[in-house]
Chain A
Amino acid sequence: MLVVNGLRATVGEKEILQGLNLTVNPGEIHAIMGPNGSGKSTLAHVLSGRDGYTVTGGSATFAGQDLLALEPEQRAHLGLFLAFQYPVELPGVNNTYFLKAALNSIRKARGEAELDAVSFLRFIKEKLKILHLDESLLKRAVNAGFSGGEKKRNEIFQMALLEPKLAILDETDSGLDIDALRVVADGVNALRSPERSMIVVTHYQRLLDYIQPDFVHVLAKGQIIRSGGKELALELETTGYGWIDAEGLAA
């Protein structure tokens, strides 16, 4: 589904990704862990097409297409979804209007009929239940004045609605207390399916207690330096990241 090969990317003069390899197959959940500054968020941003990064080498293929050549919205049309670490507040933009515009843009790009107001509302109310979200959310402006937990739940809610093939969760656990984390994780787990893959980017092992990954990768200095099963996350919990030396190599 996703094949990343020797990916290199810079921000300004600084090379953040230094030849990263990653293959994600349908239905798999990959956790990407690593110390601050290792390039975790950069990977999420480069894959979703955010401005400000220059890809200097390597490739990323998603659903058979050259992902890096596509606009952000085209990536979403193909089934890529990024749950933001810091969801953006959009004052004045109504949540329902936003969600409907997103869903119908994607349906249209895929040659499916757009949903009318009634079927959209029915669909959306079903999805609200998964995240234990109140209907009042629909009347508010997108993320405006939301608490940290509400913002993260709204991200997962959007994911539930847009039904992506590959979701990248960028530090979805950051800033969440344990109850909020559980709600978000339950939402994510409810969306697991044999066709849907996820990349869970996190600094802490804690999230992985709730979202069980199939693979765990350690990212340091812009490369994946170790990969393993979920037991690798537990190992990191005890060893921390101290064993990664200044060059980003295992000591």
Chain B
Amino acid sequence: MTDHALMSWLPPLAPAAPAWLATLQAAARAQVQTQIAAPDAEAWRYTSLNHLLEQGFVPIDETITALQPDDLDEVLIAGLDSRRVVFVNGRYAPELSATEALPPGVHLDSLRELLAHDPDAVRALLPAESATLPLFMALNVAGLDDGLVLRLDRAAILAQPLELIHLSIGLDQPSVAQPHHLIVLGDGAQATLVERYVSLGAAVYCTNAVIEIQLGRDAVLTHERLQTESKNAFHLSGLSLRQGANSRYQSVNLGLGSRWSRTELLTEFCAAHAECDLRGLYLAGDEQRIDYHLDVNHAVPNCTSRETFKGIIYGKGRAVFDGRVVVAKDAQKSDAAMSNQNLLLSPQAEIDTKPQLEINADDVKCSHGTTVGQIEPEKLFYLRSRGISAALARRMLCLGFADEIIHTLHSETLREHLSEQVGQRLESAPWD
């Protein structure tokens, strides 16, 4: 049963696929089968797949062309200065995208088109041999179809942020889309990427996205990932990040939407003096579950990583934070600090948090800390004594808690938008 449900997410292999791609996909498919046969118990300790598998998701080989640019209005963030790449149900939608006048040295393509016209260019961007991937990332590779390919040449700068919008629309059948994005920044290149997951309507569908990022020496990427899908959506996404020397990656992961979601962030330092800053905020309310799994690999010396995740869980919501930092034997002078703070607003709300440090070197600075708590009565009383209603006071305190993450977003427009989104969700939150 399990076997059948997940394997049916995969479309038939494209007959025209180049041999190297067929090999890569076959290897990924084999990984999926192995992991289905012998599941990684630790990785799935807190999460059951049943609810996801019951939906009977299937891939739909259909490019949605009926959408007009106006249809996008309800999901756009007014006033956000950005170029835009839109994927509808996993397929590139050029008519909805706005990518005019890219600066020199910035190349933007659809994976599907690049595979058709210049497969060798894609081959150069993919890892030569397939690494062992978590189940759903392997599944995504096995079902490779379309995605964004963004390449920045040496020292190229994409100053205006690029918005990568995953727009999903329900079809007659519960569908799954598996976009696969490749982002490559050459030495000294810089960019800001705002990755968004949004829904039109409230149909049941699944997104299983993977974004592979390679940063060259001295490259700087700001990566903001905003998941605000409808409450019927199923969301899976995986990041695979490889960082060159002195490169800097800073990300904010916001998980507010969807019924069932799981995000895997895999990062690896490939050369010294790189910095990786992963921040996140998740909100899980009634009938929602949100999982974050981090795997941060300090494979080489002198790198710095920060993992700062905060969660607000209310009603019967459930969340999982499973963070792992691994410091290799030779990775001396590694500096890592992981923290996970959670606010539980109701007795039925649940968080499973599991921060882990695996340190194999002896000269490192590593720490982790976890808190799970409620709104402090002292703070609530202070606000109420100033005439503020209990409901508004609670919301203000939650927003204050969330602000540590939200205020790190790159633009004021985004910060305001997300504060508002969090506030709106909390407005309907039951407090007991």
B283 to chain A, nearest CB (A): 15
Which B367-389 residues sit within 8 Å CB-CB of chain A? 377-379, 381-389
B389 proximity list for chain A (CB < 8 A): 73, 105
- If A51-B381, A90-B379, A105-B392 touch, whether A76 touches B386 (CB-CB below 8 Å) is yes
Taking CB atoms and an 8 Å cut-off, the chain A residues in 79-115 that contact chain B are 81-82, 84, 87-88, 90-93, 97-98, 101-103, 105-106, 109
A98 to chain B: which residues have CB within 8 Å?
Answer: 383, 386, 396
* A50 and B381 within 8 A (CB): yes
- Is A248 part of the contact surface with B, judged by Cβ < 8 Å? no
Give Cα distance in the complex from A141 to B397, angstroms: 11
Stretch from B51-59, B126-134, B143-151, B400-408 forming part of the interface with A: B400-408
Question: Contacts of A101 on B, CB cut-off 8 Å?
Answer: 388, 392, 396
Which residue of A75, A87, A162 is within 8 Å of B382 (Cβ)? A87
Q: A50-B381, A91-B404, A101-B392 are in contact. Are A77 and B387 (CB under 8 A)?
A: yes
Residues of A within 8 A of B379 (CB): 88, 90
| CB-CB under 8 A for A162 and B387, given A92-B400, A92-B401, A93-B400 | yes
Q: Whole-angstrom distance between the alpha carbons of A93 and B403 in the complex?
A: 8
Contacts of A102 in B (CB 8 A): 383, 386-388
Does B399 sit within 8 A of A, measured CB to CB?
A: yes
Residues of B with C-beta under 8 A to A106: 387
Tell me which residues from 325 to 340 in chain B have a Cβ below 8 Å from any Cβ of chain A. none
A82: contacting residue among B378, B385, B388, CB under 8 A: B385
**List of B residues within 8 angstroms of A158 by Cβ:** 386
Q: Does A48 belong to the interface (CB within 8 Å)?
A: yes
**Contact yes or no, A48 B400, CB < 8 A:** no
CB distance from B384 to the nearest CB of A (A): 4
CB atoms of A76 and B381 under 8 A apart: no
Cα distance A93–B401 when bound, in Å? 8
In the assembly, what is the distance between CA of A76 and CA of B387, in Å? Answer: 5
B400: chain A residues at CB < 8 Å are 90-93, 141
With a cutoff of 8 Å between Cβ atoms, the chain B residues found around residue A237 in the complex are none
B397 to A: closest C-beta gap in Å: 7
Contact between A109 and B387, CB atoms less than 8 A apart:
yes
B382 in contact with A49 (CB, 8 Å)? no
B390 close to chain A: CB less than 8 A: yes
Query: What residues of chain A lie closer than 8 Å to B387, measured between beta carbons?
Result: 73, 76-77, 102-103, 105-106, 109, 162
Q: Which of chain B's residues have a CB closer than 8 A to the CB of A141?
A: 400
Q: In the complex, are the beta carbons of A73 and B384 less than 8 A apart? A: yes
**Cβ of A32 to closest chain B Cβ, rounded Å:** 18
Closest residue of A by beta carbon distance from B377: A51
Once the chains are docked, how many angstroms separate the CA of A98 from the CA of B400?
Answer: 11
Interface presence of A209 (CB below 8 A):
no
A73–B404 CB distance below 8 A: no
Point out the residues of chain A lying under 8 angstroms from B397, CB to CB: 90, 93
Residues of B within 8 Å of A71, CB to CB, are 384, 390
The answer, yes or no, to whether A72 is at the interface (CB within 8 Å) is yes
Q: List A residues 19-48 near B (Cβ within 8 Å).
A: 48
In the complex, residue of chain A having the shortest beta-carbon distance to the beta carbon of B393: A73
In the complex, chain A residues whose CB is within 8 Å of the CB of B401:
92
Q: Give CA–CA (A103, B386) in the complex, Å.
A: 8
Contact B385 A92 (CB under 8 A): no
Q: Whole-angstrom distance between the alpha carbons of A50 and B380 in the complex?
A: 10
Q: Which of A91, A92, A162 contacts B386 (CB 8 A)?
A: A162
Q: Is the CB of A72 within 8 A of B402?
A: no
A230 to B230, CA, bound (A): 66
When chains A and B are docked, how far (Å) is the Cα of A71 from the Cα of B385? 9
Are A92 and B382 in contact, with the CB atoms below 8 A? no
Chain B residues in the interface with A (C-beta under 8 A): 377-379, 381-390, 392, 396-397, 399-404, 407
Residues of A whose CB lies within 8 Å of any CB of B are 48-51, 71-73, 75-77, 81-82, 84, 87-88, 90-93, 97-98, 101-103, 105-106, 109, 141, 158, 162
What are 14 A-B residue pairs whose CB atoms fall within 8 Å in the complex?
A51-B381, A72-B381, A72-B384, A72-B385, A73-B386, A82-B385, A90-B383, A91-B400, A92-B399, A92-B404, A98-B386, A101-B392, A105-B388, A105-B389
5 nearest CB pairs, A to B? A92-B400, A92-B403, A76-B387, A102-B386, A93-B400
Q: A84-B382, A90-B382, A92-B404 are in contact. List 7 more A-B contacts (CB 8 A).
A: A50-B385, A72-B381, A81-B385, A88-B381, A97-B396, A98-B396, A109-B387
